[in-house]
Amino acid sequence: MIKSFNMSYIFLQGCNNIIMGMVFTYIYIKHLGGIMKKAIIIFLLTMVLTGCADQVNSNSPIPSEETNQTEVDVIPSEPEMTEEEKAAQELEKKKSEREELEKQRKTELGEFYVPLVPVGEEREKKNTEVKALYATGYTAGSSLNKENIDAYGAYIKALAENDAEKAKQLWASAENANKFEKIIGIAVGTEINGIVINVKDDNGFITYDSNVEAVQKLNTETPIPIKDIKNMLQVLKDYDIYTIGRIVAFKDKNFAVQSPEHSIQLKSGGTWLDPNSGNIPWINPFDKYVWDYNVAIAKEASLLGFDEIQFDYVRFPDGAKKYNPITEFPGRNDRDKDVAIAEFLQYARKELEPYSVNIGADVFGITTRTWDDYPEDIGQTWIIMGEHVDNMAPMVYPSHYSTGWYGLENPNVQPYLVVKGAMEEAVEKNSSMEKPPVIRPWIQDFDWAGVEYGPDKVRAQIIAAKELGITEYMIWNPSNSYDPYSFMLSEAEVSGTYPLDKGELDYREKSPADGADKFLSGMLENRYSYMYLMTPVSDREKDFDEYAKLQEALNIKLLNYKVYGYTMDQSNKDLATVDVYYKIEVTDGETKQVIEKDNVKWNAVRENNIWKIKAKFDSSLS
């Protein structure tokens, strides 16, 4: 077929001139007579056939059968790209787009500009059961020698294995480790797997060389303890240690002194000084400029490689009753303090999302019990802060509790009972939330008021939380000197099962009947927080203020009640029936009726380890 096409094409090319001459001759002879015309036409046809054959033979060689090519121009196709080449091309495209985006971000963010994670270096959030020790910037800035770390780690492992002879042999090399190398060595040889490191300390000083313009301005005279933060983080990564960057948010003397316009103000003029913190000023938690400053540091720490950002002093100063009447907060705009703190955390989370880090918040230990930031008025409310962080870290140091807490005369000498009581409250708070944060308490590892906190007291706090299913913790020791025995399992732990099985009781050691009693006592005394906590999450409004308004608007008033007992469901250990009596006053317009109901059955459900009540009041007279 190809050969036939080629021959026809060449034939026509060769006959082109002869055919054109024949056409002109025909035009000339068409007026002649029939016989003469026919003779001329026959002659011309003979010439055409003979001439065309000669043209083909002399000028147009016919391609051989083995050749499929034609003289028609063919555009060669592009070779198909490999997957690697496609990926490389896509990467270059993304890098080009990122360059344009960074130009735009630099203009928008100005002095708070921090680059995004470079294209191709993105990471996912770490999901780690954290057990961490605290280190100051000066401790973390120490030199790091892996030989020292490994030697101390081997020594700690020998101690954990109760191999006294081996530990004695290893001590000669282990004792060369500095304080920070020992902390890492403890992580090598025990359950410790994380370190909390100051990024911005309690004075507001940055601990590393920052590239953020606003941070540089405020730290021109700041001594920088961590000289090579990238190397430090790389060493910790080599040992698979989870890194937490601690940022002291609003107790920032360095910022407040240099920029008093961003500080808490006196109504009479000037900057307010905190008498509980050595007469230092605080920066204003309502101030958006202050938010951006802290968030920029958090972004940079994330970019450097920290796995988590922890905001400490994420609150207003304590002692609010004394300073509230004499101070003012520019930018407040009628907001409550706890709303401002929650909004800051929400803003920080949104801004840090591209950096794939976890976010934690340190809170006063008493926030596990208090409600709606009352009476402290420092801006810390568990259930609204917890919505915007990955973990909440209550500082449940026994030394910080006064007589009477958890029924104790001297809480400082009862670390197990203090932490147990606080964690029970934290579990109850978490049970009231749709998406509760991880509970990760700060554990006391420092002496106080003549009470020595050795491994026994430190471990007792860890066990108290562990019994309630709280397996994460952080250890606070201001000197950063840790006894490794605090982080080794006791014999009782090795043989025990955690969390403890509470049987029919919940993690507050309450029965379904106790849950009903708390709900009804809250209704009787208008303590809506009790009712909120004891109602299943799906059976009420999420927002507590809205829930409280609805309760106030109800036409039912509880006059009296009694809880007789409960019956467990035989097929589901998390369900029960509670038997109650109640007396209520029902208002219908101007009419009020008193109704009593006895032996009423209410359903109870154990939700997130806390018994909740599905209360239903029958207002009919029958």
492-533: pLDDT as tens digits = 899 999 999 999 999 999 999 999 999 999 999 999 999 999
In a domain, 487, yes or no: yes
**What are the two backbone dihedrals, phi and then psi, of residue 340, each rounded to the nearest 5 degrees?**
-60, -45
Do 551 and 610 fall within a single domain? yes
Can you give the three-state secondary structure of 546-595, one letter per residue?
HHHHHHHCCCEEEEEEEEEEEEECCCCCCEEEEEEEEEEEEEECCEEEEE
Distance CA 22, CA 1 (A): 30
Do 472 and 554 fall within a single domain? no
Torsion-angle region of 23 (φ positive above 0: left; ψ -120 to 50: alpha; else: beta): alpha
**Residue owning tokens 């959030």:** 125
* Strands of 591-607's sheet in order across: 556-568, 575-588, 591-607, 610-614
Do 519 and 548 fall within a single domain? yes
3-class DSSP state for residue 391? strand
Residues of the chain with pLDDT under 50: 1-14, 23-24, 27-29, 53-60, 62-67
In a domain, 540, yes or no: yes
Per the CB < 8 A criterion, the answer to whether 425 and 383 are in contact is no
Do 607 and 538 fall within a single domain? yes
Distance CA 224, CA 387 (A): 34
Nearest CA among 29, 49, 50 for reference residue 41? 29
In a domain, 493, yes or no: yes
Do 464 and 555 fall within a single domain? no
Do 577 and 488 fall within a single domain? no
**pLDDT value for 79:** 83
Q: How far apart are the first and last CA of the chain?
A: 102
Encoding tokens for residue 404?
A: 């009477």
Distance CA 317, CA 310 (A): 18
Report the number of distinct structural domains present in the chain: 3
Encoding tokens for residue 274?
A: 């905190």
Distance CA 277, CA 447 (A): 21
Distance CA 517, CA 581 (A): 11
Across the strands, what pairs with 411?
none
Burial grade of 158 (CB within 10 A; 0-12, 13-18, 19 or more): buried
**pLDDT value for 9:** 43
Per the CB < 8 A criterion, the answer to whether 132 and 195 are in contact is yes
Do 599 and 525 fall within a single domain? yes
In a domain, 419, yes or no: yes
Per the CB < 8 A criterion, the answer to whether 617 and 556 are in contact is yes
Do 529 and 484 fall within a single domain? no
**pLDDT value for 73:** 65
- Neighbouring CB atoms inside 10 A of 193's CB total 17
- Non-local CB neighbours of 259 within 8 Å, separated by 6+ positions: 218, 283
Do 599 and 516 fall within a single domain? yes
- Non-local CB neighbours of 139 within 8 Å, separated by 6+ positions: 179, 180, 183, 480
Encoding tokens for residue 225?
A: 């303890």
Q: What is the pLDDT of residues 579-617, one digit of tens each?
A: 999 999 999 989 999 999 999 999 999 999 999 999 999
Do 412 and 482 fall within a single domain? yes
Nearest CA among 242, 153, 227, 152 for reference residue 197? 242
**Residue owning tokens 């409600």:** 371
In a domain, 36, yes or no: yes
Distance CA 475, CA 132 (A): 6
- Neighbouring CB atoms inside 10 A of 396's CB total 30
In a domain, 489, yes or no: yes
In a domain, 593, yes or no: yes
Distance CA 470, CA 583 (A): 40
Helices and strands, number each (H, E), in the chain? 20, 15
Distance CA 266, CA 268 (A): 5
**pLDDT value for 14:** 47
Q: Which of 44, 59, 74 is the last residue of a domain?
A: 59
**Residue owning tokens 């500009």:** 113
Q: Which of 59, 74, 98 is the last residue of a domain?
A: 59
Per the CB < 8 A criterion, the answer to whether 181 and 268 are in contact is no
Distance CA 251, CA 274 (A): 10
Do 554 and 589 fall within a single domain? yes
Q: Are strands 473-476 and 327-328 parallel, antiparallel or unpaired?
A: unpaired
Distance CA 341, CA 389 (A): 12
Do 417 and 450 fall within a single domain? yes
Encoding tokens for residue 596?
A: 């009593």
Q: What is the pLDDT of residues 397-412, one digit of tens each?
A: 999 999 999 999 999 9
**pLDDT value for 60:** 47
Distance CA 583, CA 591 (A): 17
Residue-number span of the structural domain to which 455 is assigned: 401-423+442-500
**pLDDT value for 65:** 47
CATH number at residue 518: 3.10.450.50
The DSSP H or E segment spanning 461 is: helix 455-466
The per-residue DSSP string of 52-96 comes to: HHHHHHHH-PPPPTT----SS--PPPPPPPPHHHHHHHHHHHHHH
The pTM assigned to this predicted structure is 0.86
Across the strands, what pairs with 474?
132, 442
**What are the two backbone dihedrals, phi and then psi, of residue 412, each rounded to the nearest 5 degrees?**
-60, -25
Q: Which residues of 343-373 are buried (b: 16+ CB within 10 A; e: fewer)?
A: bbbebbbebbeebebbbbbbbbbbbbbbbbb
Quote the DSSP letter at residue 99.
H
Can you give the three-state secondary structure of 217-268, one letter per residue?
HHCCCCCCCCCCHHHHHHHHHHCCCEEEEEEECCCCHHHHHHCHHHECEECC
In a domain, 133, yes or no: no
